[in-house]
């Protein structure tokens, strides 16, 4: 059994509304996979079925070869949910210790506090935490049972840039031990930088599944960026290959189907093209194109 997570023909109806529509997906053991999609795409419903919080209307959901409920009870799957509440009036250390007592083979409390960067605030009450500190506590609670599969829903919400970087360093370290990580995020650069595979969902179905590089290639075209300076941007949309012109402050980004022809025309029509950069389409472009 190589599948850590397996969905086959899964549907979920809420009355007349079908939130998940024949979903097929798999996540192999040891993979780090990003689950992307617009609001209402079916991501949260799928995650809730994966965690045994919802039963599918039709189809099969399995975790590590068994049912989601069995995996949760054994501590083999852990979850860090964006809207997960924290017990008020208790300290960080006490809540982590309580979580560890729930599982048959928990991680040591001291180790958990250190890995989530909570040691210095272990005696602080949970209702006195900042947004980023609360997220780090949810991470510690999610891995308290030493799960083989870790599910993250918008894990870096409310974190500043430095905290986000430290968090993903911890996640990569956790996954390096052969564990499986499935995460949903609206920060697409996090998916690009950290995921082995990306699964994009729309309308309750998988619309694409591949590596970040493969998915970005589906958007087609290239981008040509340069500093506009004192020159006008008039006529840039008429250059060969150009399909769109975006101006952000003093920087111009040209979407083009023929980067070489676009660059040649730029130098032919301008004295200078400072800070020129040519690159592929980014992940945001690709995901938006697929969803549309």
- Domains annotated for the chain, with CATH where assigned, are 3-216 (3.40.50.300), 221-281 (3.30.70)
The answer to whether 142 and 86 have CB atoms below 8 angstroms apart is no
Decide if pLDDT at 158 tops 90. no
- Per-residue pLDDT at 220: 67
Q: What percent of the chain has pLDDT over 70?
A: 98
The span from the CA of 106 to the CA of 118, in Å, is 17
Bridge-based pairing state of the strands 222-227 and 77-80: unpaired
The answer to whether 111 and 132 have CB atoms below 8 angstroms apart is no
Q: What is the mean pLDDT of the chain?
A: 90
Structure tokens at 39: 């609001």
Mean pLDDT of 80-98: 90
Structure tokens at 60: 């099969």
205-231, pLDDT tens digit by residue? Answer: 999 999 988 888 776 678 899 998 777
- Per-residue pLDDT at 244: 84
Highest mean pLDDT among 81-85, 88-92, 155-159: 88-92
Structure tokens at 222: 């290239």
226-245, pLDDT tens digit by residue? Answer: 998 777 788 899 999 998 88
- Per-residue pLDDT at 126: 95
With left for phi above 0 and alpha for psi between -120 and 50, is residue 75 left, alpha or beta? left
């Amino acid at each position: 059994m190589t599948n850590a997570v397996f969905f086959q023909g899964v549907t979920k109806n809420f009355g007349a509304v079908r939130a998940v529509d024949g979903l097929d997906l798999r996540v192999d053991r040891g993979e780090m996979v990003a689950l992307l999609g617009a609001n209402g795409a079916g991501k949260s419903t799928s995650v809730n079925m994966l965690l045994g919080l919802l039963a599918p209307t039709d189809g099969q959901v399995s975790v590590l070869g068994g049912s989601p409920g069995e995996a949760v009870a054994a501590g083999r799957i852990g979850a860090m949910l964006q809207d997960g509440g924290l017990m008020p009036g208790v300290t960080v250390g006490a809540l982590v210790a309580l979580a560890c007592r729930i599982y048959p083979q928990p991680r040591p409390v001291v180790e958990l506090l250190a890995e989530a960067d909570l040691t210095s605030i272990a005696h602080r009450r949970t209702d006195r935490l900042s947004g980023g500190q609360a997220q780090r506590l949810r991470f510690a609670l999610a891995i308290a049972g030493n799960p083989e599969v870790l599910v993250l829903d918008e894990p870096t919400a409310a974190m500043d840039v430095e905290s986000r970087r430290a968090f993903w360093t911890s996640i990569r370290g956790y996954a390096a031990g052969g564990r499986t990580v499935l995460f949903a995020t609206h920060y697409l650069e996090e998916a690009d930088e950290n995921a082995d595979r990306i699964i994009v969902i729309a309308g309750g179905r998988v619309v694409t599944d591949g590596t970040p590089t493969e998915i970005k290639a589906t958007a087609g075209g290239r981008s040509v960026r340069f500093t506009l300076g004192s020159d006008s941007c008039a006529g840039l949309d008429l250059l060969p290959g150009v399909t769109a012109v975006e101006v952000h402050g003093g920087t111009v980004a040209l979407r083009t189907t023929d980067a070489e022809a676009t660059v040649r025309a730029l130098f032919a029509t301008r004295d200078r093209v400072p800070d020129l950069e040519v690159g592929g389409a980014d992940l945001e472009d690709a995901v938006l194109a697929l969803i549309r």
